[in-house]
Amino acid sequence: MYALVDCNNFFVSCERLFRPDLEGKAVVVLSNNDGCAVSRSNEAKRLGIRMGQPYFEFAHLEQEGKVTVFSSNYILYGDISRRVQTVLREASPDVEVYSIDESFLLIDEQMAGGDLDRWAKALSAHCKRLTGIPVGVGVAPTKTLAKIASKLCKQYPALRGGCYMHREEDIRKVLSKFPLEDVWGIGRRYFARFSALGMHTAADFAARSAEWVRREMGVGGLRTWRELQGVPCIELEHPQPRQSICCSRSFAKEITDPNDLQGQLSTFVAMATEKLRKQHSAAREATVFIRTNRHRTDLPQHYDSRLITFATPTDDTMVIGKASAEALREMMRKGVGYKKAGIILGNFCPRNQVQADLFDNTDHERSARLMKAIDTINATHGAGRVHIATQAKEGIKMNRQHLSPAYTSSWSDIIVVNADK
């Protein structure tokens, strides 16, 4: 059996973890630069706030005291996510982290003590007790059905956070009412086409023939169709090294100063190379890009990018940073304000298989020791504790007017409790 553990309104739940006064109240977490809603409490949904709705459209609700708004605090969310994953790995040795708030587990009745429904409810309660995060645990014969079962946990509180869906009659009943657009693997484009054909539920799709599904959706759609029939076709996936790494951001305001923009780009380079070293890879190529605000048609527009190739594949922040700075100087136009910049590392090879160029006189062992020391210090004492001099001192320029403290990862933000003697 597969279990899908889904954290309920995850970003909101993380904020409420340290603000219990917000339980039962409308809460919204915004995207980068406080652009739009990316996580909503059930109370916020009842106010009519939509996923992806621009903040300015419901800002009046915050001013009226009807909703509490937070900027995205990804450092906090990432740390809480790791704590949830630790609990899940104690429940099953085979875990696939699907996203920051979802994980698949492979389980059997022996592991669950012979009662998978009780196991699902117990795991939900255990996770809430140890991490403070409410989760729904859906158990079913396939990953697609497990995702549906986890959604039922949110819809029906009587399930107490756990749903074991395995009997054919129960599956048919659920699929007959489950919206087709919410089925894992059915995107908006397919749903629009199928809706025009009178297909509105998962059962409508499951009732089609295998030949029809393959003709309309190909092999991927056929896997989804078979999974709805209870036939496992999508196995657990385990982390594989990335084939490319991108770090970029949109800025709160347009940047015209070359040194200022270089500081931002240097920060992106440091973030990207740290990820590169974590997967023990080295990059043969890097692409640097900059662009103006395409929504400001009253301002000069410019988009440019540069491909950098390294004779010797590297994971050195300073080597990639120097090359990126040179590319940036070539691209920037005087007096033009840039809204976004970033770097993409690609064409990787394993770090232990790097073939040095004949004319390369770099001391790679010394470079590797320095990068390891930086990563170790930052991992121990906090991100950015040691950084390259060209990095922006004030961090990435983003609009985060509603940012909560980094409660679990910054000594200065740790909650202090005063107890009366």
Q: Classify residue 413 by burial, with Cβ atoms within 10 Å: 0-12, 13-18, 19+.
A: middle
Instruction: Give pLDDT, residue 13.
Output: 97
Secondary structure of residue 248 in the 3-state scheme: strand
| pLDDT surpassing 80 at residue 383 | no
In contact, 1 and 107? CB cutoff 8 Å: yes
Q: Which residue has the higher pLDDT, 286 or 381?
A: 286
Of 1-15, 108-122, 158-172, 278-292, the one with minimum mean pLDDT is 108-122
| pLDDT surpassing 90 at residue 46 | yes
Instruction: Give pLDDT, residue 122.
Output: 96
| pLDDT surpassing 70 at residue 406 | yes
Question: Across 79-206, where does the E strand assignment appear?
Answer: 95-99, 102-106, 135-140, 162-164
Instruction: Give pLDDT, residue 253.
Output: 87
Instruction: Give pLDDT, residue 415.
Output: 86
| pLDDT surpassing 90 at residue 282 | yes
Architecture per CATH, domain 244-381, reads as 2-Layer Sandwich (3.30)
In contact, 7 and 84? CB cutoff 8 Å: yes
How far CA 82 is from CA of 39, 75, 115, 414, in Å, comes to 19, 11, 27, 18
Q: Classify residue 225 by burial, with Cβ atoms within 10 Å: 0-12, 13-18, 19+.
A: buried
Long-range contacts of 58-63 (CB under 8 A, 24+ apart): 58/28, 61/26
Hey, what are 247's tokens?
A: 């770090």
Smallest CA-to-CA distance from 146 within 165, 159, 161 is with 165
pLDDT in tens, 308-360: 999 999 999 999 999 999 999 999 999 899 999 999 999 999 998 888 777 77
> How far is 203 from 219, CA to CA, in rounded Å?
19
Q: Given CA atoms 305, 310, 315, 321 in this order, what sign does their dihedral have? A: negative
Hey, what are 139's tokens?
A: 């158990």
> How far is 51 from 59, CA to CA, in rounded Å?
15
| pLDDT surpassing 80 at residue 239 | no
Contacts of 224 (CB under 8 A, 6+ apart): 144, 183, 184, 185, 186, 217
Instruction: Give pLDDT, residue 385.
Output: 83
| Mean pLDDT of all residues in 77-98 | 94
Smallest CA-to-CA distance from 126 within 94, 88, 100, 80 is with 88
Residue carrying structure tokens 């989760």: 135
Q: Name the pLDDT band for 410 (thresholds 50, 70, 90).
A: confident
Which amino acid is present at 299? Answer: L
Q: Which residue has the higher pLDDT, 81 or 294?
A: 81
Paired sense of beta strands 27-30 and 338-350, if any: unpaired
Instruction: Give pLDDT, residue 398.
Output: 73
Q: Classify residue 385 by burial, with Cβ atoms within 10 Å: 0-12, 13-18, 19+.
A: exposed
Instruction: Give pLDDT, residue 417.
Output: 82
| pLDDT surpassing 80 at residue 414 | yes
| pLDDT surpassing 70 at residue 287 | yes
Q: Name the pLDDT band for 103 (thresholds 50, 70, 90).
A: very high
Q: Name the pLDDT band for 121 (thresholds 50, 70, 90).
A: very high
> How far is 62 from 30, CA to CA, in rounded Å?
13
Following CA atoms 40, 41, 44, 49 in sequence, which dihedral angle do they give, to the nearest 10 degrees?
20
Instruction: Give pLDDT, residue 49.
Output: 96
pLDDT in tens, 258-272: 999 999 999 999 999
Instruction: Give pLDDT, residue 261.
Output: 94
Contacts of 347 (CB under 8 A, 6+ apart): 283, 284, 285
Residue carrying structure tokens 């770097």: 343
Q: Given CA atoms 233, 236, 240, 242 in this order, what sign does their dihedral have? A: positive
Instruction: Give pLDDT, residue 110.
Output: 82
| Mean pLDDT of all residues in 384-399 | 80
> How far is 413 from 361, CA to CA, in rounded Å?
45
Sheet with strand 162-164: strands edge to edge: 95-99, 102-106, 2-7, 135-140, 162-164
| pLDDT surpassing 90 at residue 21 | yes
> How far is 189 from 39, CA to CA, in rounded Å?
23
> How far is 282 from 265, CA to CA, in rounded Å?
19
| Mean pLDDT of all residues in 103-108 | 94
Mean pLDDT of the chain, nearest integer: 92
Instruction: Give pLDDT, residue 421.
Output: 60
pLDDT in tens, 186-237: 988 899 999 999 999 999 999 999 999 999 999 999 999 999 999 999 999 8
| pLDDT surpassing 90 at residue 418 | no
Instruction: Give pLDDT, residue 401.
Output: 87
Secondary structure of residue 339 in the 3-state scheme: strand
| Mean pLDDT of all residues in 287-314 | 93
> How far is 76 from 408, CA to CA, in rounded Å?
7
Hey, what are 295's tokens?
A: 């929504």
Break the chain into its structural domains and give their ranges. Answer: 244-381
